[in-house]
Structure 1
Amino acid sequence: MLPSTYLPSVNRLAPPSDPSLEERYGSLHIRLLYHFEHDFYHHTKSLHPGLKDMLALFMNVGFATPYLMDELLAYSAAHKSILGQQTSQLYLSEATRLQTRALTLYNSASPQISKDTCLPMFLFSSLLSQHVIYNVSSNVHNGLGPILDGLTNSTIIHRGLVAIAKASWPMFSEQVQQQLIRSCQRDYMPIPSSADSRGECEVLLSRLNATDMKPESIAVLRSAVENLQDRFDAICTDSSHAMWAAVQDWLVAIPAGYLELLNQRRPEALVVLSHFAVLLYRVAEQWFVGDLGIRLIRLINSHLGPAWEDWLEWPNRATMEQL
């Protein structure tokens, strides 16, 4: 399977636009490049170890890889859109346009992983994995449906990132490997035994066991919940970096059957998602996440109604300060 098949088609990610691909960059894009290298760094350096060196790597590789440069600028425009209301829509529209163009270039190239392509492919998917979460977050006012579709799509991106990373790692130079290790340090400990678990999902597991769903559906939901509990248990710090790692890990690990139940809008699957939203709530200081977690919990509460209040008790309590 080609690595590019992990990435969404342009139409699935955003409405296509029709700019000529011969038109490349103008003064706006120079400003976005400056923002990525300077302002973005100052806004986010406290959350990301080794960020300065990573930004330089992104830019150096981007200058030689058009699809990466387009996504880099799209990512910068998305970040800039959250900084000022007067220009927010301008930058948001440009972020969508550039991301669409980046995906068009990537899908047209359909690159195979090799020593020459592995690094730009990895960097591209790294940016895209965060950018698609921002797309979900910025779409939160359009209701629950678009959020669920966006999160489902994001699992494809995150799984693609992991697949590309695993295949590419042996091909990276030692210098690049060390740079990535420094920037991806995780405040994680080995997953503890069940006796050491804090039990965030314990009540939910008990409720699932008592439902009248088909056994195979219960098994799928239990698998998703048990993995989510592992993510909670493995976090040994309140740092946003560790929380985001837990979010990514769960998006990669959830079974396909759970996504099917989620697409069917099964209440039990939505309750599981509300527990995951607590992780999103705890990583709100990541610019591309923002208030996605708390809004998702509110939307699920509204969608399910009073009949499911008991099932939603823990997510509501865990985010009580903002509900």
Structure 2
Amino acid sequence: MTHVALFNNLLSKEFLSMEESGHPDVIPSALYIQCGLETPYMMHQLLAASALHLSIKTPESRGHYREYATGLQTRALSLFNQSNPILEVTSSNCVQMFMFSSMIGVHLLCDTLYYQRDSLEGFVDSFTHCLAANRGILTVIDQSRNLLHETELGPHLRLPEVLMQSTDGSGSECAALWDLANAADITPSARKAYRDAIFYLQRLFDAQQSSSGDRTRMPMVFVWQAIVPLDYVGLLRQRQPIALVILAHYAVLLHRGRGLWLIGQGGRFLIESIYGSLPDWQPWLKFPITALRDESTAT
């Protein structure tokens, strides 16, 4: 009966609240469910996401559902590997591979945001694992860009392309970060990694402001993880202060999306933890801290 309950939960209003239908960059849940009905590994991952949601929704059964989520995801990955012994993106599997990889990425992020709050160190370790894993999603898009644009997913995949266009961001959310990256005594490679991460982050703030005001949609949270430079991921894994300051600014997007069950209070935890662990860098953290105090920010 547990699988039936998990499937029914996929159709619940609370689970589907992450969908925010009507926005062109949000893939409708109906497409994921349709894919799951046709693809066993996708169905196992959908049920894993449902179990993760129930672990958050029902604290008294948290351990049971989280363990169930882990088991289902492990089985999903096993089925995926069996179905794709040679990892090749084709016209016949590009939709399934993209949707599965995106669900895996969202699941890892959600698990990190809720269950890796014991320490900043543990959170960063888990988060950098998410960043590395999510690079695979951009790889799938790059390998099958033309194929995906000819499918029903095509209209929903514009955000990464828009963010990667080489135009300057117009907002000021990352102004302090630019000053910090330009003035810091760091290697040229580190400076480039920071500047690229800041550039894409500012593009996200700009996209948010132009499309939804202060409200964060899940694709905005997710896409930065997929396109952020690998060199930045390495610097963050080393807990370099500038990398953490940039992460705190990204956490503002998380905080603005705290009304989504996938995110919750993960942004607040991250901002407060980084602020508390970097007393000498607090002047560069004014924007994230101010965002926490501005409870008028949409949820």
Q: Is the 8 A contact 1:32 1:76 kept in 2?
A: yes
1:307-322 to 2 correspondences below 5 Å: 307-321=280-294
The 1:312–1:120 alpha-carbon spacing in structure 2 relative to 1, beyond 3 Å, is same
Please say if 1:150 is aligned against 2:126: yes
* Structure 1: 5+ residue stretches without partners: 1-26
From 108, 113, 125, the counterpart of 2:89 = 113
The 1:79–1:272 alpha-carbon spacing in structure 2 relative to 1, beyond 3 Å, is same
1:233-248 to 2 correspondences below 5 Å: 233-235=206-208, 236-238=210-212, 243-248=217-222
Q: Residue 222 of structure 1 aligns with which residue?
A: 195
Q: Give the aligned residue type for 2:174.
A: C
The 1:310–1:99 alpha-carbon spacing in structure 2 relative to 1, beyond 3 Å, is same
Of 32-41 and 123-132, deviating more is 32-41
Q: Residue 117 of structure 2 aligns with which residue?
A: 141
Deviations 1:175-211 (A, max 9, x none): xx3x43566686x9887965x7221111222123222
Aligned equivalents of 1:240, 1:29: Cα separation in 2: 37
Aligned equivalents of 1:49, 1:216: Cα separation in 2: 37
Q: Residue 178 of structure 2 aligns with which residue?
A: 205
Q: Is the 8 A contact 1:49 1:184 kept in 2?
A: no
SS at match of 2:91: coil
Q: Give the aligned residue type for 1:100.
A: T
Measured on the aligned residues, the alpha-carbon RMSD in Å equals 3.1
From 92, 102, 105, the counterpart of 1:129 = 105
The 1:50–1:82 alpha-carbon spacing in structure 2 relative to 1, beyond 3 Å, is farther
Q: Residue 246 of structure 2 aligns with which residue?
A: 272
The structure with the largest alpha-carbon Rg is: 1
CA drift of 1:94 comes to 0.7
Q: How many residues align?
A: 290
Q: Residue 6 of structure 2 aligns with which residue?
A: 32
Of 68-77 and 242-251, deviating more is 242-251
Runs of 4+ in 1 over 6 A off after TM superposition: 188-193
Q: Residue 62 of structure 2 aligns with which residue?
A: 88
Deviations 1:251-308 (A, max 9, x none): 222211111111111111111111111111112222211111111011111222x212
Q: Residue 140 of structure 2 aligns with which residue?
A: 164
The 1:211–1:130 alpha-carbon spacing in structure 2 relative to 1, beyond 3 Å, is same
Aligned equivalents of 1:76, 1:260: Cα separation in 2: 32
The 1:105–1:241 alpha-carbon spacing in structure 2 relative to 1, beyond 3 Å, is farther
TM-score, scaled relative to structure 2: 0.83
Q: Is the 8 A contact 2:18 2:218 kept in 1?
A: no
Please say if 1:260 is aligned against 2:211: no
The 1:158–1:240 alpha-carbon spacing in structure 2 relative to 1, beyond 3 Å, is farther
Q: Give the aligned residue type for 1:89.
A: G
Q: Is the 8 A contact 2:254 2:263 kept in 1?
A: yes
